[in-house]
Amino acid sequence: MSIHHSIPREKLGVALVGLGEYSSGQLGPALKATAYCSLTAVVSGSEEKRKKWQDEYQLKSENLYSYADFDRIKDNTDIDIVYIVLPNSMHAEYTIRAARAGKHVICEKPLATTVEDGKRMIEACNEAGVRLSVGYRLHFDLFHQELMRLGRGRTLGKVRRIIADDSMAIGEKDQWRVKGSLAGGGPLMNNGIYCVQAAQYITGQLPVAVNASFLPKTDPEKFKDVEEGIQWEMEFVDGTVAICESSYARDGNFLRAEADDGWFELSPAYEYSGLKGRASTGEMIFPEVNQQALQMDDFAICIKNNKTSRVSGEMGLRDLIILKAIYKSASGGRKEPLDLDAFAQP
């Protein structure tokens, strides 16, 4: 893979597609802290944003793209990785176009809005011989890695119950996150996916069933397209249960595991920084890390070493199947079985 001389040879070039809040507040700054990749291009419909990013990140004029000329990236050797930071309904189209341009892809979560799209994305990347990763930043956070260690290693005995709540009081009613056609769902797709993730990486198991119900709508005008809140249980084959909730009407940021010989929890649990952890054995003390910088660096290392990302497209597809089962259960009012045998254990 040829890397243009304009960046140090050991760094892979990243193009950010979509310059909204997450790109400007998190990914851009993280790319100033990465060791193995750097920002080389941006894609935005706004000329003003492109110019602003060019000035701040010293980007070449020819590395500023609009959505109309996005496919020209295939000829640009400054770009190795394309990071899709668009509304959920656009993930599939731009991941597939990036793959066809021969670029590796990081796609923000959720992978897509339908399971069919998720499969098409994985297929396109496989066909093009490029890697696909999902923006699951918490896998790179030291507190969450400690939860994985405690849960899977049964350090405090077998985990019996997980309690997870990721909620946020969402602002104005005209944002894309409350538009069903763009978001593909409400808080479950945006926040609840972190609870789905955590239950699996703490237990090291795949769920076998889900049971869900929608929470009542207090603002039917704002939430006419998507759920305002949802609660669900995930059941695992060994009897472990995860009790989860996600809402757009209040704030919630909690993750707890109860085991045979103790407990461990994070509160706040899902933030970009400032996480706090405690266990029955004492407080968790870990340095703060830049989750996004570590996530992107890890992907760059995977590409260099021709390895699959630990937060792969397949993992994103697995979670999408679970999210859809949760919605089906909430709509139908009954437990939904899951068959995830095709997926590796988390």
Q: Which residues are catalytic?
A: 109, 194
Q: Which residue spans within the chain are E strands per DSSP? A: 12-17, 37-43, 64-65, 81-84, 104-107, 132-134, 159-167, 207-214, 229-236, 241-247, 252-259, 262-266, 277-279, 282-284, 336-337
Q: How many other β-carbons are positioned within 10 Å of the β-carbon of residue 132? A: 28
Token couple for 182: 């763009």
Cα 162 to the chain's mean position, in Å?
Answer: 20
* DSSP code for 93: H
Strand partners, 269: none
The residue written with tokens 């009012």 in the block is: 333
Q: Is 3 exposed, middle or buried (0-12, 13-18, 19+ CB in 10 A)?
A: middle
DSSP calls for 309-330: -TTBHHHHHHHHHHHHHHHHHH
Are the CB atoms for 135 and 26 separated by under 8 Å?
A: no
* DSSP code for 71: G
φ, ψ for residue 99, nearest 5 deg:
-60, -45
